[in-house]
Amino acid sequence: MDRFLNGHGQPVSLNGSHVSPWARSCLVLSLSLALIGVLYWPTGRAILALWHTSSFSHGLLIVPISMYLIWKRRDRLRLLRPAPVLWPLPLLVILGCAWLLAHLAAIDVVQQFCFVAMVIVLVWGVIGTVVARAMLMPLAFLIFAVPLGQAFVPKLQDFSAWFAVKALDLCGVPVLLEGRFISVPTGKWEVAEACSGIRYLTSSLAMGFLFAGLMYRTWVRRIGFFLASAVVPIVANAVRVFGIVLLAYISGNRIAAGVDHVIYGWIFFTLVMALLLVVGGWWRETSGQPPSATTLPITGTDAKHFKVDRQPDTRQTVLFACLSLAAVSVAPISAKVFWAPDGKSARVKLLPPTASLPIRSSGTDGIGWKPAFFAPSTELEQSYEIQTQPLKLCIAYYAPEQRDAKLVSSANALFDKKLWSRIKEDYVATRIEGQKLNIHETFIRSSQRSLIVWSWYWVDGEYTSSDVLAKLLLVKTRFLRDPRGAAIIAIAVEDRPDQAPDSEILKQFLEHISLREALTFNPR
């Protein structure tokens, strides 16, 4: 029914309009969202796939909860008349450009964030600022549908391991920390990715945002509780790791070992979250009786949206939908253009680089190490020796037209985690063919030997060990249609106390080898 209330609570007819503004807006919005889903289907599909993983399984509940919260506001929304606004259009263009840059750099999380943000901005544009303000919390809650947080996993692992070791030391338990491995007299524990607490953190943030939006009215309390929902699970996970190791030590590995530590972890997290909610509930704020269609008059800012319009409303809604779809379609269309073959692609032939004395090529792999890089176009492995000290060079090359490959990715592993353990990481300053570079240095250990691994990237003809700079250079090369591609380079040497310092051996290796020979540029 196309009726609204005036300031006296009396219904107001919209002069015989055949289609209500809400019906019109919902229809246009549904069609627009469907078209965005088609345009950005690969990104949407990636989000759905991550929702089925254990770390982001709560994402399956985000959209239903958001829709329920909107439905709960139906009495208030019924009083408001949706009216399209053009202010969101520039923001849609910006989000489209950001999605395109992230797509060219293969940064999935940025693509997914831009996709969800486009949906929110599109809703805002179709229904108008006043109505969107009334739906602010449910719309903002959709951000938690983005599988964020994977980049923080290593830092969370390191913090949990450090905290647990400090706490065990305070309890008088003999303990040794090597990388993310905690050794006590009764056994050795690894703070693996599954123990980082990222599942607790992401679900706690979503729950904290929802709780703060429903229970508090002032922004100070909302922000305070949301920050608490971030800090508490991080500290709680570190305490969980400490508790598991301590219980196993005290019981001689009869308690908290095997699958028990997983069950213990979830029980502990549930109790911590319940306590957080109870404490947060003590400071809840109520807003009194919620507005209803019979008690709330239309005044102030909302009143101007109740002017009687016929065809102009329909035309404005359709116009915004067309302009917004044009704005968001530029990015996926441009992506297809950038990835389209241009006939200028090149073939990089990976050749073992020649080395000058005292470096000698070797036909024997004296290292027993091999990195696992995700889907490279081609790879090179070459062994060397320097004064009986074995070294190994590995290069993974990614062709410019290879869309499913990621030069910078958490899927790229410098070592097989089943065979090797990470001890520590650092950066060391050196020179490669005259270029100053801070190389990423990783110390790993197996049951037989210890290695030092140096790794860096080759993009746009330049060397870098920065993930951010490598992605920016990757965007540049794909914008300019550079046919050379990119590569990951890693060298390893065995850590022997009876030999010269390993860093000096690797520096000497780089001084006597020409990597440019390996990355030979051969135009077709």
Residue 282 has pLDDT above 80, yes or no: yes
The pTM (predicted TM-score) of the whole model is: 0.80
The pLDDT of residue 405: 65
Percent share of the chain, pLDDT over 90: 19
Evaluate whether residue 518 is within a structural domain. yes
Evaluate whether residue 285 is within a structural domain. no
Residue 252 has pLDDT above 90, yes or no: no
* 3-state secondary structure (DSSP) of residue 158: helix
408 versus 343: the higher-pLDDT residue is: 408
Beta-bridge partner residues of 431: 436
The pLDDT of residue 263: 65
The pLDDT of residue 404: 62
Is 438 within 8 Å of 429 (Cβ atoms)?
yes
The pLDDT of residue 91: 92
Number of helices and strands in the chain (H, E): 16, 15
Residue 105's domain spans which residues?
3-148+308-339
Is 182 within 8 Å of 423 (Cβ atoms)?
no
Residue 14 has pLDDT above 90, yes or no: no
- Same structural domain for residues 382 and 494? yes
pLDDT 10s digits, 349-358: 677 887 778 8
Tokens of 365: 């792999």
**Domain's final residue, options 260, 292, 327:** 260
- Same structural domain for residues 377 and 498? yes
In whole angstroms, give the CA distance from residue 270 to residue 200.
9
Helices (H), 252-349: 260-281, 311-339
The pLDDT of residue 163: 93
Give CA 305 to chain center in angstroms: 39
The pLDDT of residue 291: 41
- Same structural domain for residues 494 and 358? yes
**Domain's final residue, options 227, 260, 293:** 260
Work out the end-to-end distance of the chain between its first and last CA atoms, rounded to an integer number of angstroms. 68
Nearest in space to 241 (alpha carbons), one of 217, 265, 216: 265
The pLDDT of residue 166: 92
In whole angstroms, give the CA distance from residue 334 to residue 39.
12
Per the prediction, the chain carries an average pLDDT of 80
- Same structural domain for residues 381 and 469? yes
Q: Angle 167-173-174 (CA atoms, 0-180°, nearest 5)? A: 115
In whole angstroms, give the CA distance from residue 451 to residue 157.
22
DSSP 291: P
In whole angstroms, give the CA distance from residue 61 to residue 52.
11
pLDDT 10s digits, 27-68: 888 888 898 989 999 999 989 988 887 678 888 899 999 999
Dihedral sign computed on CA atoms, order 415, 417, 423, 424: positive
Once rounded to an integer, what is the mean pLDDT over residues 403-424? 81
- Same structural domain for residues 115 and 15? yes
pLDDT 10s digits, 344-386: 555 556 778 877 788 888 878 878 888 988 888 888 888 888 8
Evaluate whether residue 268 is within a structural domain. no
515 versus 36: the higher-pLDDT residue is: 36
Nearest in space to 368 (alpha carbons), one of 493, 499, 253: 493
Give CA 189 to chain center in angstroms: 27
In whole angstroms, give the CA distance from residue 226 to residue 219.
10
Is 440 within 8 Å of 465 (Cβ atoms)?
yes
The pLDDT of residue 12: 41
Domain CATH number, residue 503: 3.40.1000
Once rounded to an integer, what is the mean pLDDT over residues 60-88? 88
Q: What are phi and psi of 425, to 5 degrees?
A: -135, 155
- Same structural domain for residues 144 and 166? no
The pLDDT of residue 112: 93
**Domain's final residue, options 235, 260, 285:** 260
Evaluate whether residue 96 is within a structural domain. yes
In whole angstroms, give the CA distance from residue 195 to residue 298.
53
Q: What are phi and psi of 369, to 5 degrees?
A: -125, 140
- Same structural domain for residues 35 and 50? yes
Evaluate whether residue 179 is within a structural domain. yes
H or E element at residue 391: strand 389-398
Beta-bridge partner residues of 445: 421, 450
- Same structural domain for residues 254 and 133? no
Residue 294 has pLDDT above 50, yes or no: no
pLDDT 10s digits, 213-247: 888 888 888 999 999 999 999 999 898 889 888 88
Evaluate whether residue 282 is within a structural domain. no
Lowest mean pLDDT among 68-77, 197-206, 229-238, 493-502: 493-502
The pLDDT of residue 18: 52
Tokens of 61: 């509940």
Give how many domains the chain has, as a whole number: 3
- Same structural domain for residues 89 and 157? no
Evaluate whether residue 356 is within a structural domain. yes
The pLDDT of residue 501: 61
The pLDDT-based confidence of 309 (bands split at 50, 70, 90) is very low
- Same structural domain for residues 130 and 250? no
Residue 432 has pLDDT above 50, yes or no: yes
In whole angstroms, give the CA distance from residue 328 to residue 324.
6
Segments of 165-273 assigned E as strands? 176-178, 181-184, 187-190
H or E element at residue 489: strand 486-494
- Same structural domain for residues 355 and 387? yes
Evaluate whether residue 276 is within a structural domain. no
- Same structural domain for residues 435 and 467? yes
Once rounded to an integer, what is the mean pLDDT over residues 246-263? 70
